[in-house]
Structure 1
Amino acid sequence: MSALADQDQADHGRDQPNIERAGSASGGPAFTHTFANAAIGAAFARTGNRLAVVLANGEVAHLTLGEPGEPTRTVAHAEATLHWLATADGVITGGDDGRVVFTPFVGAPRLLLCEPGRWINALAFEPDTGRIAVAIGRSVRVVGEGAEQSRFETHPSTVAALAFTPAGEALAAAHYGGVTLHVFGRGSRLFARKGSMVAVTVSADARFIVAAAQDREAVTWPVAGGEPMEMAGYGGKPTSLSWAGDGRHLATSGADGVIVWPFDGRTGPFGRRALELAPERKELVTTVAFHPRLRRIAYGYRDGFAAVIDFKGEPQTVVEADGEAVAALAWSPDGLRLAVCGESGRVMVRTWPKPGLLKRLFG
């Protein structure tokens, strides 16, 4: 290979120097950095000024907002990061190297589990106890305090998604044929449905399980028993599921707008219509994220466009399309910053400088 080709290859692997601070239609300043690899996840530290960005190539990058300099990097996985989740203290990632790694906002990464030669299929985190659930093939392991606490091997197929109940007394595992709810110390129960389930979540009151199906529907089961509700109307798989801070509504991706289901009554969404937000753009919404306090939803599309909307207003643009899908959205704990991560490697952080500004702008 020539010296020129060597240089071209080296340049292709570097982050692009694309930092900007500017106003926007939503009134806040913006910070943008473009990585050489897809940005598939992000989490803010408690202070809101430090951002961990999960990259598809196995790295975790740390950005300190308002300070000059390039992001710092930590290698969590030798090759690809397959799954990730946010905690109050950092991010947990699972890779195709069989490793599950916790990378804190400050300090060195810590290996939580290692199964060489296996892929990590799904992760879930229970914040009250710090337990982590890990899916490897058909097996699910629950790890806490440095040791394996539980193992579930009864799934009929590869486990595609996991979710703890809010109080941590049970774990939902999505797979082909439905969702299995494992109640710790009391046994397991199958909530059956034909086809593959690819995402799962549990309502704040633990009365409903919601799963995204491979056949482009969302499915809700009452935990107490009864027939499931098929939630149709999606053009794609509704794999991004985000609860409102009060647990009364669930926002979903997979349509050409944001589909919001009500869970504020005794029967949840059963017999009720969903709220359809955002104008049609002839693109599918790939990810959604409820504001931690307000009735506002951030959402991103397959073409890279992202916006914020309330339950009745017009959307406020956060970032324009760049041709690559929005892979993740993250609000800071105080709700004054929003990070938009794209498969193009672009990470945009929008800041609303005053606590009341976001609420005034969005009604």
Structure 2
Amino acid sequence: MPQIAPYEFGGHVEAAAFLKDRPVFALADGTIRFPAGGETVLETHEGGLLTARLDPFAPRLISGGEDGRLVTTEPDGRQVELASIGRKWITSVAGGPQGNVGFASGRNAYVVSGKGRLREFAHPRTVEDLAFAPKGLRFASARYDGASLFFPETDAGPQQLEWKGAHTGVMFSPDGRFLVTIMQENALHGWRLEDGKHMRMTGYPAKVKSWSWSAKARFLATSGAPAAILWPFTGRDGPMGKPPLELGTRGDTMVVCVACHPSDDVVAIGYQDGMVMAARFGDAKEALLRRPGGSPVSAMAWDKAGRFLAFGTEGGEAGVIDIA
């Protein structure tokens, strides 16, 4: 068994990340924790934290909560409030290029520029999620009946991508060719952005709650089944007409969290019963990283080098696994 440095937080872990090799955990109680080397607890969001994500463009954690504050946390623990919208809940956050940060609250999406300018983008229905494109300043919002694409530095209207149903999560492929959404039903939907062609990814017995792109964007790993489901995105048509990989299949519990290794064809798989496993794409070889027991895995993240895996659970159990 790999070595685990265990932590106990006593509350739901919303996000796990590494900031310049320091493990950091965001908790639903509104705190952000740096547990290694003597725990540092940052009281960040009054009333509770609702969302937290690592900024893919900068070494910082972005969080929002019930207090209507958008906050970044740096590797040294320094925090900066980027925006405050009163007592409105911030339910989704995303980091973008050039220091831009996006967030969603109710029927509005917002973008705070790297220079501090706040722009608001109204929607007719609730904004469920948002994400920035990997290149160029463009962001997408997930909404009822589809997704919208915005260029926040212009006054141009959004490009609308329509598909009936509630879309609750959104993400660009790392190469910028595809946009994929999580649906309220047990499915994913996608669009090829060059021409708007639709992609349907169905067959899940449960709702997808976690997803992760593999190295070089070859696969999109997802939860929502008794195995990690990995859709191939290597060709022009993405996963259409191709069966997904199924890794880490178990007959007695569901996959609830996935995290692809930053450089190798390996995915970390978190289960409903608290177990964590790693599985290799090529031969489906498995390695047990954490035994079952405790509450469902709610967050996982690799460090940049791919040696350490941080995890957290709904019950507050957490840790850092050394796979070397």
Shorter-chain-normalised TM-score: which range?
over 0.9
TM-score, normalising length: structure 1: 0.84
Q: Structure 2: which amino acid aligns with 1:233? A: G
In 2, Cα distance between equivalents of 1:175 and 1:261: 23
User: Where does residue 306 of structure 2 map in the other structure?
Assistant: 335
The count of residues paired between Structure 1 and Structure 2 equals 319
Q: Specify the alignment match of 1:219 in structure 2.
A: 189
1:230 paired to 2:200: yes
State the shift of 1:205 in Å.
2.2
Q: Partner letter of residue 108 of structure 2?
A: S
Runs of 4+ in structure 1 deviating by more than 6 angstroms, as ranges, are: none
Q: Does the aligned pair in 2 maintain the 1:319–1:348 contact within 8 Å?
A: no
- Cα displacement string for residues 1-44 of structure 1 (whole angstroms, at most 9, x for unaligned residues): xxxxxxxxxxxxxxxxxxxxxxx1xxx32100111222221111
Contact 1:330 1:338 in 2 (8 A): yes
Is 1:40 aligned to residue 8 of structure 2? no
**What displacement does 1:145 show?**
2.7
How far did 1:226 drift? Answer: 4.1
Aligned to 2:27: 55
The aligned counterpart of 2:142 is: 174
Instruction: Return the letter of the residue paired with 1:335.
Output: G
Percent identical residues: 34
Q: Give the whole-Å Cα distance in 2 for the aligned partners of 1:177 and 1:191.
A: 8
Say which SS state the counterpart of residue 304 (structure 1) adopts.
Answer: coil
Q: Shift of the alpha carbon at 1:321? A: 2.3
* Distance in 2 between residues matched to 1:140 and 1:168, nearest whole Å: 18
Can you list the C-alpha shifts for 1:128-157, whole angstroms capped at 9, x where unaligned? 31210011111111102352353211x231
Q: Aligned Cα RMSD in Å?
A: 1.6
2-structure distance, mates of 1:223, 1:318: 38
User: Residue type matched to 1:29 in 2?
Assistant: Q
User: How far apart are the structure 1 equivalents of 2:87 and 2:46?
Assistant: 12
Please, which of 255, 259, 278 is the counterpart of residue 289 of structure 1?
259
Q: Distance in 1 between matches of 2:6 and 2:92?
A: 29
Greater Cα offset, 276-285 or 288-297: 276-285
1:167 alignment partner, SS class: coil
Change (3 A) 1:77 1:226: closer
Q: In the alignment, which residue of structure 2 is the partner of 1:76? A: 44
Q: Contact between 1:156 and 1:176, CA under 8 Å: does it hold in 2?
A: no
TM-score w.r.t. the length of structure 2 is: 0.94
Change (3 A) 1:282 1:264: same
| Most deviating of 186-195 and 128-137 | 186-195
Q: Within 5 Å, which residues of 2 pair with 1:188-337? A: 188-311=158-281, 312-337=283-308
Q: Could you tell me whether the CA contact under 8 Å between 1:177 and 1:193 is conserved in 2? A: yes
Q: What's the offset of the Cα at 1:224? A: 2.2
| Per-residue deviation, 1:176 | 0.9
Structure 2, unaligned stretches of length 5 or more? none
Is the Cα–Cα contact under 8 Å of residues 62 and 105 in structure 1 kept in the other structure? Answer: no
CA deviation after TM superposition for structure 1 residue 227, in Å: 4.2
Deviation at 1:264, TM superposition (A): 0.8
Moved more, 87-96 or 296-305: 87-96
- How far does the alpha carbon of each residue in 1:95-114 deviate from its partner, in whole angstroms, 9 at most, with x for none? 01111111222143111111
Please give the secondary structure, in 2, of the residue aligned with 1:187. coil
